[in-house]
Amino acid sequence: MGEEPRIAVLTSGGDSPGMNACIRSVTRCALSRGWRVWGVRDGYRGLVEGRFADLESRDVGGIIDRGGTILGTSRFPEFLRAEARGRAYDRLGEKGVGGLVAIGGNGTAAGALDVSRETKLAVVCVPASIDNDVYGTDNSIGFDTAVNTALGAVDKLRQTADSHHRIFFVEVMGRKSGAIALEVALAGGAEAAVVPEIPASAELTSLAERLKLNLKRSRKKSALVICAEGAARAEDTAREVESLTGIECRATVLGHLQRGGAPTSYDRNLAARLGWAAVEAVARGKSGVIVGLVSNDIRRTSLEEVAAREHHLNRRGYDLLETLSL
C-alpha cells in the first residue's frame, strides 16, 4: 500500500439496499488504520473519468439507513475494453491508490477481476445484489431487504385476493435468478413460484391444473403465484391461466420498488461485516478476491472461481413450497 496508504471504493451495477452501509464500513475501517479514502462516483464510469471524492468519517455519517448509494452507480459495458481500463488505471495512479474495493454484483466482480489481473492493486469485491446470484456468499447485500419489500406487497395482495376469490400473479425481479421469487413464495404462503432455474415451473398447463386442484381440494378462497421476471411475465401468465381454469386472475408487477427503501437490520449488519472484511483483505495484500458470508463465517473466494461458478437456487426450498401449498 506504500508509505501513505490510499484506498478507493466504488459501487457499480444495479443499486442494492445496504450499499451505503457498506461504503460507511469500508470508509471508517480504512480511516481507523490511518489510510486515505477516495470514493469513486458512478462506478467504473467514474473510475475511467477520474471522478473521485475524498471521504472522511462525517461524509458517511447518517447514511446507514438509506437505500441506494451516495456514490452513485452505473452500468458501464465500455469497461470491458482494455483502452477504457487503461484510462482508469492512470486515474488511480494519479491518486496514489493502492487498494480498490468494488461493491456490486456479477458485473462488478468481472470488472474487479480484470483490474486485479492487470495491475498491482489489492482488489477486493463485496457482493451486493438483490438477485442473490453471486457465487462466494450465502446472501448478497440487499437481498433480504428486497425480499421483505416484496413480501409486504404480497401480504396485502393476499387480502384482496381472498376477498374477490382470485388468483394473483406477482412478478418480482430476477432475470436469471429465482431467489427472490422462491423466498417470497415460501414466506408469503404462495401456491407456486415460477423461476428460471426450473423450466418446468413455467409450464402453464401443469401450473393451471395444479392451482385449480389445490383450490378445489383445500377449499381455499384464493391463490398466489410468484413469478421471477426472467421466467415468466405475470400479465401473460395470468391471462393464460385464466383461460385454462376459468378462474379470475390478476397480475401485479413490483418492478424497481424492490430496489428502494431502508435496508433491513440483516443487510446493515452484513454490509458492516463485509466492509470490514474487505479492508482487512486489502491490508493483508489480498487481491482478486470476493469477501462473503458462508455458513455465518466470513470467507474469501477468488474472483476467478466466482466467474467460473454459479450461485445455485435452493431446490429443497422449491420442493418444500410444493408440499406446503397443498
Report the catalytic residues.
131
Three cell numbers, residue 238: 395470468
| Cβ partners under 8 Å of residue 219, min gap 6 | none
Closest CA to 282 of 71, 14, 91, 5: 5
116 beta partners = none
The beta-strand segments (E) located in the chain are 6-11, 36-40, 52-55, 99-104, 122-127, 167-172, 192-194, 223-228, 249-253, 289-294, 297-302
φ/ψ (deg, to 5) at 36? -95, 140
Question: Burial code of 252-272, b = ≥16 C-beta within 10 A, e = fewer?
Answer: bebeeebbebbbbebbbbbbb
**C-alpha of 285 from chain center:** 27
How far apart CA 294 and CA 179 sit, in angstroms, is 17
